Amino acid sequence: MTLDIMIGVLSAFFLFASSIKMFGWQKKIFDVQLGMFISYGLNRQIMLLVGCVELFGATAIWFQGSWVGPLGALALLGTSIGAIGCHLIWDTWKDGIPAMITGTLSAIVAWSGKGALLVFIGLV
């Protein structure tokens, strides 16, 4: 799978997921997700914050020539790791499979752009 395809898949997935978390336009999915957040001890405001982080990541990953792209991928990796942790603690590991896939793709995209990010923060 090429990097552009990974970016496209991640962007589409997280644009969809973030829009539901932020705006609740798909009621059935929104209610299921909100129920999960509440069962994890989180609230609607945290769900909105996660949606905003996902939206940032889904748009930022398209800028792989600069430090913004890998930072966006790291944002998506962070939300994926958080989702994996919540599913492993409160649900079953099978519920975490989508987050495992997005986490893997996000890590690959972040790693591919690490040079620009390291230059930006002054480590190279």
Residue 1: what pLDDT? 79
Residue 89: what pLDDT? 96
Q: pTM of this prediction?
A: 0.94
- The residue whose two tokens read 């990953």 is 61
Number of domains in the chain: 1
Residue 81: what pLDDT? 98
Tens place of pLDDT per residue across the chain (124 aa):
799 999 999 999 999 999 999 999 999 999 999 999 999 999 999 999 999 999 999 999 999 999 999 999 999 999 999 999 999 999 999 999 999 999 999 999 999 999 999 999 999 8
Residue 124: what pLDDT? 83
Residue 114: what pLDDT? 95
**Integer Cα distance of 7 and 69 in angstroms:** 10
Q: Which domain holds residue 77?
A: 3-120
Residue 111: what pLDDT? 97
**Integer Cα distance of 124 and 122 in angstroms:** 6
Residue 72 main-chain phi, psi, to 5 deg: -60, -40
